[in-house]
Amino acid sequence: MRNPDDGSASRGAVASFSATRLTSIVVALAAAALVAAPLLSLMRMALIGDADLWPHLAAHVLPVAAAQTAMLLSGIALVTVIVGIFPAWLVTTFQFPGRDSLQWLLPLPLAIPTYIAAYIYADLLDSAGPVQGALRAVLGLRTGDYWFPPIRSLGGAIFIFGAVLYPYVYLAARALFQTQAGAFSDAARVLGARPWRVFYDISLPLARPAIAVGVALALLEALNDIGASEYLGVQTLTLSIFTTWLNRGSLPGAAQISLAMLLLVAALIALERYGRRRQTGRSALHDGRLARRIELHGRTGWLAMAVCLAPALLGFFVPAGFLLREAMSRAVSGGFDLELLRHTLNTISLAAVATLAVLAIGIAAALPLRFVRMPVLLGCLAVASMGYAIPGTVLALGLLSPMVAIDEAINAMMRSFGGAQVGLLLAGSSAALVVAYTVRFASMSIGFVQAGLATLPHDLDHAARLAGAGPLRILRDLHLPLLRPALAAAALLVFVDCLKELPMTLLMRPLNLETLSTSIYQHATRGSFEEGALAALLIVAAGIFPVVLLIRLADAAETRRPSKGHRGRPGWRRRGRWYSPTAPLS
């Protein structure tokens, strides 16, 4: 006998899903507007700017900045490709002393922000630093009697950026090397190919799409930097925007340089897309087993260990050891700084609020596509996911005018009701930083939510809809519980990125607010970076957690080692369970 309430429940569900369609469009447009509004504001500011300033910028600022930026990015690309690919190939192809530990240590430099690495290596390698001091003491030389590579130079910047950004390429290349089927390398070896020939002719071409993504991420991180390039004396486009805005007091000039920089960002994205051309899901031809690693013994094994150990030492252990030593010496001699506690609380509060906002936007922007497949939603989601590709300096400049406009509208509304003006309620407070963080890092949350939803079968949604559940109830009782791992990973990455973000924090923070990153920057500009060693150590310690998460994600393929199949079928075992080659790992 049919329940009379079933009809009303079904009608309510239909009405709820109809409302969801309209809500989905509104949410998607709002998410896209978060990124589009700063870019449109930037274009407007540049077009109506001071016409007399552009000839000066075009003649004296842009050529030098563009050339320095191009050389810096080219050098970083070369270093990250070499330093990232070879260790990734070694740890996936060979078994040598220390290999199991090194595959976990190699990604750790991602925990070191570029500006902190620059401050550390400048102290270590400068003429007054311990390295040259020890060299003079051992050889009996004086300053000026010898040549030493200058760290405050373009070459020094390439070295430092490459040392801390190569893990982007390493993780991407290693993931592809691990998931390439053993049939390829086994067949090549049967034909007499040496491991180097297998790498050059098979492994490297198949890993090209992942390498392109890793290089693009490393270059975008380098473009976002201010602290390292300024400290090392490299006049990049990002630094030119910063100095034109603050030192010259010219917002239009900074906006005009920003538009030129956006062209460079678009070129990087286009190169990344070109690197992934003709990519197909069958390129790795999974056959359920991986190539067995080749044992390296004696001198060859120790050489492989040295090649893999050197990047981890230069990128993580040297900077981390320096910070730990300086922090301990400052703690013993000067005690605990109460100002550091206040800066830490400011940093954690801002990062926590921004993380919650980013998660909410990620869910609201990505989830509608689960219920409504419309081209407009796909386009809006693509725009909303562009925030991370925009350098923080450019984003901060573009957000300034919309925030001021909102404050002026609030003041006008208060005046119309006879109330007192509230001033710069948004642009002059910490809310501006939260908005900037949210716009830039929303793409992380959107990506993780999309990846999490892709693993959930649509049959679950259909069953819930047949039971009369509406979108909100499906979200609350079904999707959110199943998306907890993805949301937790996104929250961790966003939180730590907010902790160490420097360009947007410098430009948009209120005058009376300091965070860990700005405190480190202030000490460095005064020539006393060692005073901020504990703050830098806190940022590095927090950055280790998302790096470990990335390592675990990249290491998932390593669990698919060759094993005896189930009932004669190809497969592998993980934690006592059998998986087929096409089954997702849980």
Cα distance between residue 571 and residue 289, in whole Å:
7
Mean pLDDT split into 10-residue runs, the chain, 586 residues: 48 54 73 86 82 78 92 96 93 90 91 94 90 87 83 95 94 80 60 70 79 90 92 93 83 88 87 68 46 82 94 95 89 74 92 93 80 74 84 90 86 79 78 92 86 79 77 79 85 90 90 90 88 91 85 59 39 37 33
Contact status, residue 579 vs residue 560, Cβ threshold 8 Å: yes
Tokens of 564: 């005896």
Cα distance between residue 175 and residue 213, in whole Å:
12
Cα distance between residue 364 and residue 449, in whole Å:
10
Mean pLDDT rounded to a whole number for the chain:
81
44-103 pLDDT, tens digit per residue, is 888 876 667 778 788 888 899 999 999 999 999 999 999 999 999 899 888 999 998 998
Residues contacting 263, CB < 8 A, separation 6+: none
Q: Which of 572, 175, 92 is nearest to 583 (CA)?
A: 572
Cα distance between residue 217 and residue 383, in whole Å:
18
Residues contacting 87, CB < 8 A, separation 6+: 102, 106, 170, 307, 308, 311
Cα distance between residue 250 and residue 33, in whole Å:
26
H helices then E strands: how many in the chain? Answer: 28, 4
Longest dimension (CA), the chain: 100
What's the length of the chain?
586
Q: Give the pLDDT score at 20.
A: 62
CATH topology of domain 336-525: MetI-like fold (1.10.3720)
- CA distance to 7, 316, 494, 541, 582, per residue, from 544 (Å): 54, 10, 13, 5, 32
Q: What is the domain partition of the chain in residue ranges?
A: 336-525
Handedness of CA 333, 334, 337, 338 (dihedral sign): positive
C-beta atoms surrounding 58 within 10 Å = 13
Contact status, residue 453 vs residue 366, Cβ threshold 8 Å: yes
Handedness of CA 300, 303, 309, 315 (dihedral sign): negative
C-beta atoms surrounding 378 within 10 Å = 11
277-306 pLDDT, tens digit per residue, is 655 444 444 444 555 778 888 899 999 999
- Collapsing DSSP states into helix, strand and coil, what is residue 300? helix
Contact status, residue 289 vs residue 572, Cβ threshold 8 Å: yes
316-367 pLDDT, tens digit per residue, is 999 999 999 988 887 777 666 778 889 999 999 999 999 999 998 888 888 7
Contact status, residue 387 vs residue 441, Cβ threshold 8 Å: yes
Cα distance between residue 343 and residue 536, in whole Å:
12
- CA distance to 6, 116, 399, per residue, from 336 (Å): 66, 21, 37
The reported pTM is 0.84
Cα distance between residue 572 and residue 578, in whole Å:
6
